[in-house]
Structures are given as C-alpha cells and as structure tokens.
C-alpha cells in the first residue's frame, strides 16, 4: 500500500500545483470543488486506462503525450495571464479549460498506470487511491492558491498562468531527457 500512496502522491503534484494556480484567480468554493474533482477523476481515469490499455496504449501515446500536455497547459496558462471576466466565481478558463487542464496534468498517470497490475493492492484499489490522493492534494493546493489570491489580488491569476506554463515546460523537458 505504501508503494501505491507514493505513486499517487507523485502523480498528484502537478494537479495540486494547477489547482493552486487556478484558485489563486479568486474561484468560488463551488469552483474549487469542481476543479479538485476533475483532477481526481482525470488522474484515476488515466491510471485505469494505462492499467487496462497496457503497453500498447502507452507506447503509442508516449511519442506525443508530453507535447499535448505542454500545449494544453500553455493555452490555459496564457489565458490566465491575459485575464478576463470571471463567470460566477470561476476562473477565466471555464469548464472546457478545466477539462483540458485535468487531462494535461494526468497524462503521466497513463504511463504510470501500466505498472498498476504489478502492485499488490490490485488495479481498482490503486485507481481509487490515486484519485483520492489527487483529490486531497488538489484541495490543499486549491486552498493555498485561494489564500494567495485573497492576499495579493488579481495579479496572482497571472502568476498562476505562469505556473501552468512552467508545468508544461517541465513535462516536456522531463520526457525529452528520459
């Protein structure tokens, strides 16, 4: 179980950072819950796809997954830097941007999912643990981002956008080096 928790925490770091960046923009409590749930579902879902799609899916996706994540994170980050009119307490990225961000931050879970059948806890348990840890760490990140946004105002949304672009760059560099 410790292996599963460590894997889940490693996978959740990007989602937690993205949640912090999003929530720094002054999101409502409803939006915070939606963002955290979206990240958790994406991490769990991509892990399950990796586990059940096996090596074939990962082999085909690994050639371009990091570029997709980079583009999605950069587009969402640029939109946050540019700013806009929030809708009912939601950051300027909207629901479609949240889905794109959830997919972008969970692409690494697809590759990690291939190893899930080798864990002693079983794939369904591992997927639930990954989703649960992502939910918890995203909530912590979201709360931290919201506190920063409340303390420093609208400029923090631009900083959140830079964080998202930096996450995209990190993903590309990590994949190119590996």
Tell me the pLDDT of the chain (178 aa) as tens digits.
788 888 888 888 888 888 887 777 666 778 888 889 999 999 999 999 888 876 666 666 666 667 777 777 777 777 777 764 444 455 556 788 788 888 888 877 887 887 788 777 888 999 999 999 999 999 998 888 878 777 776 666 677 778 778 877 887 788 788 6
Helix (H, G, I), strand (E, B) or coil at 90: strand
Mapped onto helix, strand or coil, the DSSP state of residue 87 is: strand
Structurally, the chain folds into a number of domains equal to 1
**What does pTM read for this prediction?**
0.72
Least Cα distance to 40 among 165, 166, 115, 133 occurs for 133
> Minimal CA–CA distance to 138: which of 24, 26, 38?
38
Q: Are 69 and 4 in contact (CB under 8 A)?
A: no
Structure confidence at residue 26 (pLDDT): 66
Q: Which domain holds residue 149?
A: 2-177
Please choose, from the candidates 112, 134, 108, 128, the residue with its C-alpha nearest in 3D space to the C-alpha of residue 1: 128
* Residue bearing tokens 């809708």: 87
């Amino acid at each position: 179980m410790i292996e599963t928790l460590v894997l889940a925490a490693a996978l959740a770091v990007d989602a937690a950072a993205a949640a912090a960046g999003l929530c720094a923009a002054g999101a409502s409590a409803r939006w915070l819950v939606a963002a955290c749930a979206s990240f958790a579902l994406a991490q769990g879902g991509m892990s399950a796809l990796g586990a059940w799609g096996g090596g074939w899916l990962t082999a085909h996706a690994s050639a371009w997954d990091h570029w997709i994540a980079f583009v999605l994170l950069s587009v969402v980050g640029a939109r946050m830097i540019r700013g806009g009119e929030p809708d009912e307490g939601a950051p300027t990225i909207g629901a479609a941007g949240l889905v794109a961000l959830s997919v972008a931050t969970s692409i690494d879970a697809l590759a990690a999912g291939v190893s899930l059948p080798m864990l002693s806890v079983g794939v369904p348990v591992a997927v639930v643990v990954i989703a649960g840890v992502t939910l918890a760490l995203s909530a912590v990140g979201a709360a931290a981002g919201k506190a920063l946004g409340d303390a420093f105002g609208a400029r923090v949304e631009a900083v959140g956008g830079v964080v998202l672009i930096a996450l995209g760059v990190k993903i590309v560099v990590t994949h190119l080096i590996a």
